[in-house]
A and B are shown apart, each in its own frame.
Chain A
Amino acid sequence: MIALLLILTPLVAGLLVFFLKQGSAAKNLALVSSIAILALALVAVFAPVSPVYDASWLTNLGSRFTLKMDGMGKMLCLLTAIAYPLVFAAVYKNEYKNPAAFFGLMLLTQAGLMGVFLAADALLFYFFWELALIPVYFLCSIWGGEKRIAVTFKFFVYTFIGSLLMLVGILYVYFHTADQSFAMESFYKVNLSTHQQSYIFWLFFVAFAIKMPIFPFHTWQPDTYEQSPTATTVIMSAIMVKMGLFAIVRWLLPIFPEASVQFANVIIVLSVIGMLYASLIAIRQDDLKRLIAYSSIAHIGLMCAALFTHNRTAMDGVMIQLFNHGINVIGLWILADLIEQKLGTRKLSELGGLAQKAPVMAILLVVMALANVALPLTNAFIGEFLMFNGLFQFNVYMAAVAGISIILAAVYTLNMVQKIIYGEVNAVTANAVDLAFNVKLVLVIIALVIIVFGVFPQPLIDLTKDSAAGLFLKK
């Protein structure tokens, strides 16, 4: 039941907010309902509630409205639930045209995301996958930057092609299930020959690879992150890309075990190339948002590579990193948004000297930046360490090449910090003021999470143990 509530609450709240007349009322209702959803998610994760919800849906097709919470799903629901109040609080003072529609669409996206992380029926999963995409399309194309129309079109076509390939794949598997059912259990039991697997695997993988994104399917991402309103970018970057990784664990590895071993090399090589490639481009970026976007591609690449090592340690690392990467990018994006809103530029070359003007912001930026580099004692360290450990056991050379990206991450991140907060105060930064209370609160919470999970990551490992272990039992 609680699983259903996790989807229904944002859906209903989103519709309510959407039709409110007053902008400020919409904003407040959105914030309050996002906090309520966080409370629900906390109950779902920590209270001993039934993890399954089942109702009949499209009976003739063999599809049921089945929701199931496993450890990984719970964790990502929690991440989604944490992200929304943080984002809403951080953008509380921003001005949006037609705020009711903006916050309404944001909440509808949340409903879709929750659905993706909970659905235990392939058709339902596909349904939510698209439900999460469509509001984002409108969010970007209405509230985005100058080039929003072209960029959103590209984003939509890109992800939609992926989705359609996946739909074909889902239908193919469906017709080969013993009981003609979309249920996750039937999909897991389906018997496909190695030959069949080696084709259908790619239909699914391309969809997920576009979503993550994995090199060379990534070019929609920097454009879209750059042009979207930052609140939407946060959701895309922190949570929507996790849909791809989550889907690999839940819908790809168990259904195509042979193909996922057969193609592990190809995918890991692509991921590692992507890591280096994206890091190199990040070094040369002058645009703050594009820099974070490429940095994100590099981090996701490592997670994808770790998933295909079929190694228990790496899998634990991925689970932790899913959560922690989400937390870190929320912080970075909020800071990027703040800089853009306050100073009117995202160009690193035009910034400088913010440490004198906004010391609290500078300190928090450094914390987020160090977490982005995965320094020990920040949350990202333990996840990256476990993933590199797994990658090392899979292939030493891969791990060595991928390791270079850690150095490159330090190069572009510290370079970014240097250009923003050090140096001379210039005309652009002369009038900068320090953080407002709401943003300070949000960023301090994020910094606390970074440090707490950096020192004590065990709860995350425990939470996702069953998902990571489940993959290895099925073989």
Chain B
Amino acid sequence: MFYYVGVAGALMTAFYMFRLYTLTFLGNFRGTQEQAHHLHESPSAMTIPLIVLAVLSVVGGFIGIPAAFIENGHWLEHFLAPVFASSTQLKAAHHLSHQQEYIMMGTATILIVAVILYAVNTYKKYSTDQEAEATSIGKLLENKWYVDELYNAVIVNPLHVFAGFCKNIIEKSGVDGMVNGVGRLVAYSSRQLRLVQSGQVASYLLIMIMAIVVFFLIWFNDLTIIRFFNKIF
């Protein structure tokens, strides 16, 4: 089962890599005249590293050559052995005969070559004007399975809205509003208290006498005040 999934993945890789290759390097140039004029080989700063990488990727393929072709040719077989030491003990041994391996490798290779040829053929004559509106699956793929949209809807947008709420409502009207409110309260009460300082000696005297009466009563007998209030209410 896993073999088929693996082959399917490999086939898709073969398809999209050669689609990319064909669209980029084969067929007619689809850009403008102006752009065509500027086409040139990349500078050696790019080509030399690319050559080195290309050589190494071929070499890399042979380092891990399976025992089916060259006995003990697999240099990397035991490279990570210490890492898997504990897990190999838990895993049941799984062995294939060389014949089975040849069949599997053969099938995979033939399929891949077929897919490559198909990809090259399909896209060789591709031109921008035959581009059609993507159908359902194509659209799903074009939008990367909508994973980014999902993230945006579930995490990014709510976070932005909440952050905006914090910034504009809680911070401005809530916390800072409270601080400024204290300031305004002080300013307001001073404005009101200022009115008492009217400069009219008569009202000063009135307040003074009222205060004296109040203090006198408290001093003399606070029960008198209580009784007084009881009488009123």
Nearest chain A residue, comparing its CB with the CB of B161: A284
Answer whether residue B98 sits at the interface, using C-beta atoms and an 8 A cutoff. no
Answer whether residue A336 sits at the interface, using C-beta atoms and an 8 A cutoff. no
**Contact call A277/B166, Cβ cutoff below 8 A:** yes
Answer whether residue A198 sits at the interface, using C-beta atoms and an 8 A cutoff. no
For B183, list chain A residues within 8 Å (CB): 154, 157
For B176, list chain A residues within 8 Å (CB): 219
Answer whether residue B184 sits at the interface, using C-beta atoms and an 8 A cutoff. no
The interface centre, meaning the residue of A157, A216, A220 with most chain B CB atoms within 10 A of its CB, is A216
- What per-residue 1/0 map shows which CB atoms of A25-41 lie under 8 Å from chain B? 00000000000000000
- What per-residue 1/0 map shows which CB atoms of A260-293 lie under 8 Å from chain B? 0000000000000000010011011100000000
Roughly how many angstroms separate A154 CA and B187 CA in the complex, as a whole number?
13
Roughly how many angstroms separate A453 CA and B176 CA in the complex, as a whole number?
37
Roughly how many angstroms separate A283 CA and B171 CA in the complex, as a whole number?
14
In chain B, positions 92-134 with a C-beta closer than 8 Å to chain A are none
Answer whether residue A127 sits at the interface, using C-beta atoms and an 8 A cutoff. no
- What per-residue 1/0 map shows which CB atoms of A144-181 lie under 8 Å from chain B? 00000000001001100000000000000000000000
Nearest chain B residue, comparing its CB with the CB of A223: B176
For A218, list chain B residues within 8 Å (CB): 175
Roughly how many angstroms separate A432 CA and B162 CA in the complex, as a whole number?
35
**Contact call A285/B175, Cβ cutoff below 8 A:** no
The B interface, classified by DSSP as helix, strand, loop or mixed, is: helix
**Contact call A280/B166, Cβ cutoff below 8 A:** yes
Count of A-B contacts with CB under 8 A? Answer: 34
Q: A219-B171, A277-B166 are in contact. Are A284 and B160 (CB under 8 A)?
A: yes
Roughly how many angstroms separate A204 CA and B183 CA in the complex, as a whole number?
22
**Contact call B163/A284, Cβ cutoff below 8 A:** yes
Roughly how many angstroms separate A218 CA and B163 CA in the complex, as a whole number?
17
Answer whether residue B179 sits at the interface, using C-beta atoms and an 8 A cutoff. yes
**Contact call B179/A283, Cβ cutoff below 8 A:** no
Nearest chain A residue, comparing its CB with the CB of B163: A280
Which one, A158, A215, A216, A281, contacts B167 given CB within 8 A? A281
The interface centre, meaning the residue of A154, A158, A283, A284 with most chain B CB atoms within 10 A of its CB, is A284
**Contact call B179/A281, Cβ cutoff below 8 A:** no
- What per-residue 1/0 map shows which CB atoms of B160-190 lie under 8 Å from chain A? 1011101100110001101110010000000
Answer whether residue B159 sits at the interface, using C-beta atoms and an 8 A cutoff. yes
For B170, list chain A residues within 8 Å (CB): 277
For B163, list chain A residues within 8 Å (CB): 280-281, 283-284
Count class of interface residues, chain B: 10 to 19
For B171, list chain A residues within 8 Å (CB): 219, 281
Which one, B164, B175, B178, contacts A284 given CB within 8 A? B164
For A277, list chain B residues within 8 Å (CB): 166, 170
**Contact call A154/B162, Cβ cutoff below 8 A:** no
For B166, list chain A residues within 8 Å (CB): 277, 280-281, 284
Nearest chain A residue, comparing its CB with the CB of B166: A280
Roughly how many angstroms separate A173 CA and B152 CA in the complex, as a whole number?
55
**Contact call A283/B175, Cβ cutoff below 8 A:** no
Roughly how many angstroms separate A215 CA and B183 CA in the complex, as a whole number?
19
For A280, list chain B residues within 8 Å (CB): 159, 162-163, 166-167
Q: A281-B166, A284-B164, A284-B167 are in contact. Are A219 and B175 (CB under 8 A)?
A: yes
**Contact call B164/A154, Cβ cutoff below 8 A:** no
CB distance from A295 to the nearest CB of B (A): 13
Roughly how many angstroms separate A283 CA and B156 CA in the complex, as a whole number?
11
CB distance from B47 to the nearest CB of A (A): 25
In chain A, positions 200-230 with a C-beta closer than 8 Å to chain B are 215-216, 218-220
CB distance from A471 to the nearest CB of B (A): 31
**Contact call B179/A154, Cβ cutoff below 8 A:** yes
Roughly how many angstroms separate A283 CA and B166 CA in the complex, as a whole number?
10
Roughly how many angstroms separate A285 CA and B164 CA in the complex, as a whole number?
9
Roughly how many angstroms separate A280 CA and B179 CA in the complex, as a whole number?
21
For B164, list chain A residues within 8 Å (CB): 284
In chain A, positions 110-144 with a C-beta closer than 8 Å to chain B are none
- What per-residue 1/0 map shows which CB atoms of B6-46 lie under 8 Å from chain A? 00000000000000000000000000000000000000000
CB distance from B128 to the nearest CB of A (A): 25
Nearest chain B residue, comparing its CB with the CB of A222: B171
CB distance from A213 to the nearest CB of B (A): 11
**Can you list 6 pairs linking A and B with CB atoms under 8 Å apart?**
A154-B183, A157-B183, A219-B179, A281-B166, A281-B171, A284-B160
Besides A280-B163, A284-B166, 14 other A-B contacts (C-beta < 8 A): A154-B180, A154-B183, A157-B183, A158-B179, A216-B175, A216-B178, A218-B175, A220-B179, A277-B170, A280-B167, A281-B167, A283-B159, A283-B163, A284-B163
Give me the 4 closest cross-chain CB pairs, A-B, nearest first: A280-B163, A219-B176, A281-B167, A284-B167
Chain A residues within CB distance 8 Å of chain B: 154, 157-158, 215-216, 218-220, 277, 280-281, 283-285
